[in-house]
Chain A
């Protein structure tokens, strides 16, 4: 049972990651290979909020969202001046730069040693949130909240402009919309909320090190979104469930542990290749990658 709850918590974290990334990939056609960086920044900001400022839960959430969003603004501004492959490369570059900083700035992040013993989140400043069930509830509430916010966002006028940019940028431009401004907002909103996933991860595992937020993780998040499907809410949620659940099912098929990790990766890779050929919009998406 504990195992099932653990899996559910991880799924909730990935739902936040994929739903946020989908706003970039599926709504605005901006393939970003840098989202794991914001996941990591969220996690490290959580540690800052808990150990230095001793903030209660709600304040930590706001601190992490705003902090991550502000840092992402620094990255959004230069990256979004670029298009196509160049934008992907810029996000990839920033992903690697942030990873290197987290890894090498030992005085602040403890670098490769990681940060152990992260204190628990405090509800109303007194009740500790720790243990499996409280985390299941917390992560489920936050994931639902993110899904709700992004659902409203996609179906708002803002979301429709984004879809317009995705399908025909020049047309939106000619209608007098400031495309760059919309793209920057998209990037900042997506990254800011990804910070929450980092917060849940850091306080749940109570240990973080930079390797959890490297390029492989960024690729994994993007793969999850593309497998599930892009352009709506259903797709990324299914993607998150798929990439977490299928490997666990593989475990019951009886692969030895030594090759299980590689086998799992091969399954993602194969799914990606097959989907891109037969169903470029992903399992349940509505937008075919352009």
Chain B
């Protein structure tokens, strides 16, 4: 617990630092005062919901498999930005997006299932 508080503090300091010494983008300070956010993607009926998820940098995205069939979350990029192990029913996978960009992904077992995360 103490450790995570420390890390959160460190991250806040880092972002604050960027706000002061970096580009000075609007909103940096505000964001730094918030906890790193978490966003959810649910897998239902062989599809990712939402199919496209837009999140700020630093967001942890958690996928939850709510189907009776296993699925995976695998980055389509080369090299792969992320790759989950096989998720059975109700299992989760999380990945924290630390760089802006568009991250397409799919289920490597059912490749018709595709989605993307846009990190801004």
The finding on whether chains A and B are genuine partners in a shared complex, rather than unrelated, reads no
> Which residues from chain A sit less than 8 Å from chain B, CB to CB?
none
